[in-house]
Amino acid sequence: MPDPHRVVIIGGGFGGLRCAQALARAPVAVTVIDRRNFHLFQPLLYQVATGALSPANIAAPLRSVLKRQRNARVLLGEAVAIDARVRAVRLRDGADVPYDTLVVATGSRHHYFGHQEWEAFAPGLKTIEDATAMRRRIFLAFEHAERTGDVAERAALLTFVVVGGGPTGVELAGALAEIARHTMAHEFRAIDPAAARIILVEAGDRVLAPYDPILSGKAVQALTRIGVTVRTSTQVIAVRDDGVDVTSAGATETIPARTVLWGAGVMASPLGRIVAESIAAETDRSGRVMVEPDCSVAGHPEIFIVGDLANFSHDGGKPLPGVAQVAMQQGDHVARLIRSRLDGRQLPPFRYRDLGNMATIGKHLAVAEMGSLRLSGWLAWLAWLFIHVLKLVRFESRVLVLVQWAWYYVSWNRSARLITGDEGSKADSGGKIADSA
């Protein structure tokens, strides 16, 4: 028997993991390489950042997910180079992992449009560490507000600016409003947390731009109702330790705010550039690799890019959005294509089937579009709840998430709002709260 066809998948996110799982019965040897030992359910990351869920609730150990799949192995490691000539992935520790087919699915990072220095003041939300750092900032702001005697400082500490009106920004702003008005109620003695201002800043003329304009309007209504100030057509031009400068209709203004959260730009993960350079592939402005209609890279039928890292623009020109659905369907498609090739069969090009979009804003408040259906309010919220619980990878997570959501539903309490950080452990005997800020 010849050695099985070697499929190496870089990245255990939605696209990579789906591809690996769809190859379970194929006569191939699958290797999944990831820098982390877990698959992360990124759409719920904002719930970790706002203290509603624990990191482990939205993560599943990759080894555990793939333990029964005998043709798959997991390598914890970071891919740093691709040698397309000898067909091998170089890991940071120097090891080479040879492949016959390579699937690159390393996703995206948040991006500051050339202002990387803003990151220190306006953290983004892509990893568990991003989420716990954001959580620390949010809850420390209330703590510091309780402690300060300075009125202006207190106001800045109780002002939260969320940059970017996409789903992440909308969901973060909604959660912040609920934290201020409900979770924190009765918990402070010097401040009224409900006085906190939550400002959602969006450069475009409406939030949730990819959605139907009616739903954008519904989202603004819902956000406004729970206390979020929505400012569209407003551009952030500077982010500092003590606030943001925004410009709107030609006028520039400073918003004093100690907490700025970034939900705006995304950019392809650095491996995209490495892949593109090593095989002279084309990339777009965001660093995404241009792919063929079958998700492979031009001139390299054995290399596929799926998910956020790929620019797939064959259905009318606009690239497919960076959402889990696209990644999973592409991962599926590539797995089917690999099987077809081994059988000597042909497969039609990849076609994205849009199953819809949904974003939640708060209790009973969400917007959703599925096909020609537009939902908002209660019904959209129930649909969101149902689908997100169903989609969690493991049964145990579903139970844990449901218990916590049910508890939140009745009590508004966010049990996972721990202010933690490595500073605390390293400087235990002298750990200062200022350090953790």
Taking the least distance from each CB to its own copies, the nearer of 188 and 352 is 188
Of residues 342-371, those binding its own copies (CB under 8 A): none
Closest distance of CB 202 from its own copies, Å: 25
What is the spatial distance between Cα 21 and Cα 6, in angstroms, rounded to a whole number?
A: 15
Of residues 201-230, those binding its own copies (CB under 8 A): none
* H or E segment and range at residue 39: strand 38-40
Q: Are 134 and 421 in contact (CB under 8 A)?
A: no
What is the spatial distance between Cα 61 and Cα 38, in angstroms, rounded to a whole number?
A: 4
Task: Give the residue ranges of DSSP H helices in 163-316.
Answer: 167-178, 213-225, 271-279
Q: Are 347 and 334 in contact (CB under 8 A)?
A: no
Mask of contacts with its own copies, 145-184, x by CB under 8 A?
-xx------------------------------------x
Of residues 259-278, those binding its own copies (CB under 8 A): 269-270
- Of these, 4, 77, 256, 319, which contacts its own copies (CB under 8 A)? 77
Taking the least distance from each CB to its own copies, the nearer of 40 and 220 is 40
Closest distance of CB 123 from its own copies, Å: 9
Residue 64 in the binding site for its own copies (CB under 8 A): yes
Residue 75 in the binding site for its own copies (CB under 8 A): yes
Of residues 179-198, those binding its own copies (CB under 8 A): 184, 186-190
Taking the least distance from each CB to its own copies, the nearer of 137 and 333 is 137
Instruction: Kindly give the pairing relationship between strand 28-34 and strand 5-10.
Output: parallel
Catalytic-role residue among 119, 171, 178, 253 = 171
Instruction: Kindly give the pairing relationship between strand 296-297 and strand 365-370.
Output: unpaired
Closest distance of CB 280 from its own copies, Å: 22
Instruction: Give every CB contact of residue 39 below 8 A, 6+ residues apart in sequence.
Output: 12, 13, 17, 59, 60, 61, 62, 65, 393
Of residues 24-63, those binding its own copies (CB under 8 A): 35-38, 54-57, 59-61, 63
* Binding segment toward its own copies, per CB under 8 A, in 133-141, 169-177, 203-211, 326-334: 133-141
Q: Are 392 and 41 in contact (CB under 8 A)?
A: yes
Token couple for 136: 């620390």
Three-state DSSP class for residue 234: strand
Closest distance of CB 34 from its own copies, Å: 10
Which residue has tokens 């789906």? 18
What is the spatial distance between Cα 133 and Cα 111, in angstroms, rounded to a whole number?
A: 17
Mask of contacts with its own copies, 385-404, x by CB under 8 A?
---------x-xx-xx--xx
Three-state DSSP class for residue 236: strand
What is the spatial distance between Cα 225 and Cα 56, in angstroms, rounded to a whole number?
A: 32
Taking the least distance from each CB to its own copies, the nearer of 382 and 416 is 416
Active site residue 171: yes
Instruction: Give every CB contact of residue 147 below 8 A, 6+ residues apart in sequence.
Output: 190
Residue 4 in the binding site for its own copies (CB under 8 A): no
Binding residues for its own copies, total number by CB under 8 A: 73
* Binding segment toward its own copies, per CB under 8 A, in 75-83, 249-257, 295-303, 349-357: 75-83
Of residues 92-121, those binding its own copies (CB under 8 A): 92-93, 95, 109
Q: Are 45 and 126 in contact (CB under 8 A)?
A: yes
- Of these, 24, 88, 115, 143, which contacts its own copies (CB under 8 A)? 143
Token couple for 318: 């606009």
- Of these, 133, 156, 208, 246, which contacts its own copies (CB under 8 A)? 133
Active-site annotation, residues: 171
